[in-house]
Amino acid sequence: MKSDHVKSNEINRRVFVERIAQSAFGVSLLPFVSGQTSNATETLRSPGFGKAKAVIMLQLSGGLSQIDSFDPKTGASKGPGSAVSTKADFQLSSFLPQTAKVADKITVIRSMTAKVGVHDQARYLMRTGFEKRGTIVHPTLGAWAHHQLGPSHDTLPSSVCINRPSSNGNGFFPATMSPLPILDPEEGLKHAVSKEDSNVMNKRLSMLRAIDGKFTDAFNDPSVIAYNDFYESTLRLMKGKDLKCFDLSEEPNALREKYGKNRFGQGCLLARRLVEGGVRYIEVESGGWDMHKDIQDGMEERGAEFDVAFAALINDLHSRGMLESTMVVVATEFGRKPSFDGTGRGHHPLVFSTVIAGGGAKNGYVHGASDAAGGQVAKDPVTVGDLHATIAHACGIPIEKSVTSSSGRPFTIGNKGKPVAAVFG
């Protein structure tokens, strides 16, 4: 029986305990307490190490066209937009006029490259740094940071994902390191507050401890122990003032308008509030970037939402003195083909662009290059694993330190990727 328990599926156990939590406490928050952690040691001292105290990852799902955004081209590859000057010594697409105004505060990586050109697998690669396998689930950067650095706050989660479910972001780490999902930034955690008073909640917690006490004694399961800690952390959050950082109504309407009154824009504003509150890793998803057809309308609509929100986020963080300690990353699963058929472009993982800002990254800098057509890397290739290692390096995580999964295999952040030292000032 004991061996069967050890082999049981962690995700199934998590779902079971979440349902117990929902019934007992009237909440459905995913766990976010520390569980098993290890203290990171500063083994790398090169520029940028440890400067990022928080990361905001902006995931543009569907495959952003590098040519129609951060790497504009001329000739047959050009497409509907044009190249425009920026506040830095490089050009961007005319679809990103607001981003052009903050270009002096960002680093553009134009030499990203991968081998995966299918959405689900490529999105998994970008979120985890590993190619998808049927035998194991890999953690996201938020879970890696939680494991290596410990929790970022006594009450708040260390990791949050906005506009999407958590999708097992803890990977092979304990389920308590899964990100807290916020499916609608306008709602935040409005439904997280139980109708019951604290005395009733505490009694229910005591009952749960009594029920699982014998089980814990028999198996000494760290997951059960961690879930008990999760319940207590949830109660502290629900009774404390920290819930306010999830409430966008606290922000002036004028600032909310600057970010854009849409899910992505408000998600970016919520991300800034969460960083202020003490959350370390926040992912904000924007969908609709699979522009096989009608790139012009797509970039005028979806691209404009991103352009306004991203520029507002950079300016907001900068004005509050938070940009130097907060790394903002713009990521997408792959790029688009240089061949433009008059309306759209197909999938193209061989070369694409990402952006990082803050957290020790250089200002107004372009790293790497694609060829003249925008179809191949011409200089300084950067893999997805390298990008993950770069972000982790900025967070002060020793990327060479391996972690052994329950299957007995050692893993490192970014699957042995190397930080791109040139992007740091």
Q: Tell me what pLDDT residue 401 has.
A: 93
What are the structure tokens assigned to 327, written together? 């790394």
What is d(CA 61, CA 52) in angstroms, rounded to the nearest whole number?
Answer: 24
C-beta separation of 319 from 92 below 8 A:
no
Backbone region of residue 389 per phi and psi (left: phi > 0; alpha: psi in -120 to 50; beta: other values): alpha
pLDDT-derived band at 241 (thresholds 50, 70, 90) equals: confident
pLDDT at residue 352, as a whole number: 98
Q: What is the pLDDT of residue 190?
A: 76
Mean pLDDT value across residues 96-123: 98
Find the range with the poorest average confidence among 11-15, 94-98, 340-344.
Answer: 11-15
Pairing of strands 91-93, 83-85: antiparallel
| Residue 396 confidence (pLDDT) above 70 | yes
d(CA 365, CA 423): 8
pLDDT in tens, 127-182: 999 999 989 999 999 999 999 999 999 999 999 999 999 988 999 998 889 999 99
* Mean pLDDT over each residue of the chain, to the nearest integer: 86
Lowest mean pLDDT among 113-117, 203-207, 375-379: 203-207
Compute the CA torsion angle 384, 135, 348, 298 (nearest 10 deg).
Answer: -90
pLDDT at 40 (0 to 100): 37
Residue type for position 157: P
User: Confidence class of residue 189 from pLDDT cuts 50, 70 and 90?
Assistant: confident
Taking Cα atoms as reference points, which of 347, 303, 374, 305 lies closest to residue 94?
303
Token duo for residue 22: 């929902």
For the stretch 350-374, pLDDT in tens is 999 999 999 999 999 999 999 999 9
Confidence of residue 268 (pLDDT cuts 50, 70, 90): very high
**Given pLDDT bands bounded at 50, 70 and 90, which one contains residue 406?**
confident
Cβ atoms of 330 and 354 closer than 8 Å: yes
Report the distance separating Cα 106 and Cα 365, nearest Å: 7
Determine the pLDDT at residue 179: 95
Residue 22 has what pLDDT?
47
Q: Give 388's Cβ-side CA count (13 Å radius).
A: 26
Whether the Cβ atoms of residue 260 and residue 309 lie closer than 8 Å to each other: yes
Domain ranges of the chain: 31-188+247-423
pLDDT value, residue 82: 97
More confident of the two residues 421 and 243: 421
Biggest alpha carbon–alpha carbon distance for the chain:
71
Strands 159-162 and 281-286: what pairing? parallel
Mean pLDDT across the stretch 303-311? 98
pTM: 0.85
pLDDT above 90 (res 336) = yes
> What CA–CA distance (Å, rounded) separates 260 from 40?
38
Spell out the alpha helix ranges (H) of 66-179: 97-101, 119-128, 141-149
d(CA 256, CA 36): 38
Residue carrying the six token digits 């607001």: 98
H and E: helices and strands count for the chain: 12, 17
Q: Selecting from 3.40.50.80, 2.20.25.90, 3.40.50.720, 3.40.720.10, what CATH number does the domain 31-188+247-423 have?
A: 3.40.720.10
